[in-house]
Copies of this chain bind each other. A is one copy, B any other.
Amino acid sequence: MPRIVVDVMPKPEILDPQGKAIAGALPRLGFTGFAEVRQGKRFELTIEGDVTEEVLEHARSAATTLLSNPVIEDVTRVEVIEDAQ
């Protein structure tokens, strides 16, 4: 069944404590070469039936109202994928 992927990331100007914690842990575990880490969310919405413009519009609206907090987060992607990606 087709799926819509929605990616949500913290806005660049917003502090991301989870990302900061990961960035601090990486070199301690021997993983060097990284300057910054940001942690966001990824949603996979499985679609009932066909990908219509209405379903896509629903996904875009849901992305900005239910799946993200527009004060602190950006929706960076709303895209149909045919299988796992």
Contacts and interface: CB of A to CB of B under 8 A. Distances in A.
Q: How large is the interface on A (under 10, 10 to 19, 20 to 34, 35 or more residues)?
A: 35 or more
Copies of this chain held together in the complex: 2
A45 to B, nearest CB: 5
Interface string A46-63: 111100101100110110
Given A41-B40, A62-B29, A85-B76, A35 B22 contact: no
Given A22-B66, A29-B65, A41-B41, 17 more contacts: A9-B42, A9-B44, A19-B43, A30-B58, A33-B48, A33-B49, A34-B47, A34-B48, A35-B46, A35-B48, A36-B46, A37-B43, A38-B44, A39-B43, A40-B41, A40-B43, A41-B42
